[in-house]
Amino acid sequence: MLLKNLINITPKDKGNIQIKGLSTNSKKVKKNFIFFAIKGKKINGEKFINQAINNGASVIVCEKRCKFKSKKILIFKKKDIRHFVSEIASKFYKLKPKNIIAVTGTNGKTSVSDLFYQILTLNKISAASIGTLGVKYKNKIIKTGLTSPDAISIHKYLHFLKSEKIDNVVIEASSHGLEQKRLHHINFKTAIFTNFSQDHLDYHKTMIKYLNTKLILFQKILSHKGNIIADKTIKQFLILKSISKKRKLNLIEIDKIFGKIGKIFSDKYNTFQKKNLAMAIAASNICGLKNKKIYQSLKKINDVSGRLELVRKLPNNVKIFIDYAHTPDAL
């Protein structure tokens, strides 16, 4: 793609540079790549600019205060580099699925995402999920190692999934991912808020900052007239209700679906599992899947990997589960 089509402030004599790729990792830079030198809390990408140039970078993007200078290489200095990365990635990887859903909250993100993927797949509707379990599509998995991959990777995965003719994608939106703007410039039609409790205070420092980071999804990223799926029994519901009114979003409560699941599966699921399933069902409804088909497929759903997953039932009826719980509330 031509540089002038990616960055509109490109000098005229540099506009026809053919950009072959994007990277925030200097080791992965190749000829005619744009290298984004991000100054993080642990690693300063500006220290690797020369390495990126040696590997073939034709454009460098760094922060306003970056001291790097060169007469041979084109440099753009941006005040908000993370926002700029997601903007350029969205242009470079321009193919996108029609229906993209985000799931945030302290617990349940992976479960809701995987249940949504299973429901659609069982009903022979093309779907994918991006999150802790990797990128799941067509019964295949690409390992990512992160709940919310970096901005370039997310847009690259979405571009790939669209090329695979997949139009329904659910993405786990971690608080780190939201604060670092990895999920900006994505046209989310629906956003799910599972629940909220203590986690990541080493990073966010206070519960208020942690919550406000989660709310970025609903206040700034979710598309105008989009959908919010939430549980009205949680304290944060009133905040979501206020945001939905202000932004003219469609707020969907899961209480009726939760009640119906309780009647059908009184013994199979715990309360939190029923709520996760209710949110996945609500998201499936938005995709146009009818309730009759959804509920018919529920009996075929597998346990989510590592989420109260039944792995063995002993002869004396003792059950062995594996669970990923790592927060006070989840435990």
- For residue 148, what pLDDT is reported? 75
Q: What is the CATH number of the domain that holds 222?
A: 3.40.1190.10
pTM for this one?
0.90
Instruction: Select from 179, 144, 181, 177 the least CA-distant residue to 160.
Output: 144
Confidence category of residue 37, pLDDT binned at 50, 70, 90: very high
Radius of gyration of the chain (CA): 22
Q: What is the mean pLDDT of residues 216-221?
A: 96
15-45 burial code (b ≥16 CB/10 A, e <16)? eebebebbbbbbeebeeebbbbbbeeeeeeb
- For residue 201, what pLDDT is reported? 66
Q: What is the CATH number of the domain that holds 54?
A: 3.40.1390.10
Q: Burial-class residue 301 by CB neighbours within 10 Å (0-12, 13-18, 19+).
A: middle
The total number of structural domains in the chain stands at 2
By mean pLDDT, which of 37-41, 115-119, 243-247 is the weakest?
37-41
Q: Do 63 and 210 reside in the same domain of the chain? A: no
SS3 assignment, position 227 = strand
Contact 129, 192 (CB under 8 A): no
Instruction: Select from 300, 297, 319, 299 the least CA-distant residue to 309.
Output: 319
Instruction: Select from 205, 248, 211, 213 the least CA-distant residue to 228.
Output: 248
Owning domain of residue 197 = 94-301
Phi, psi dihedrals of residue 58, rounded to the nearest 5°: -105, -15
Q: Please write the tens of the pLDDT for every residue from 169-190.
A: 999 999 999 999 999 999 999 9
Q: Do 16 and 58 reside in the same domain of the chain? A: yes
In a domain, 129, yes or no: yes
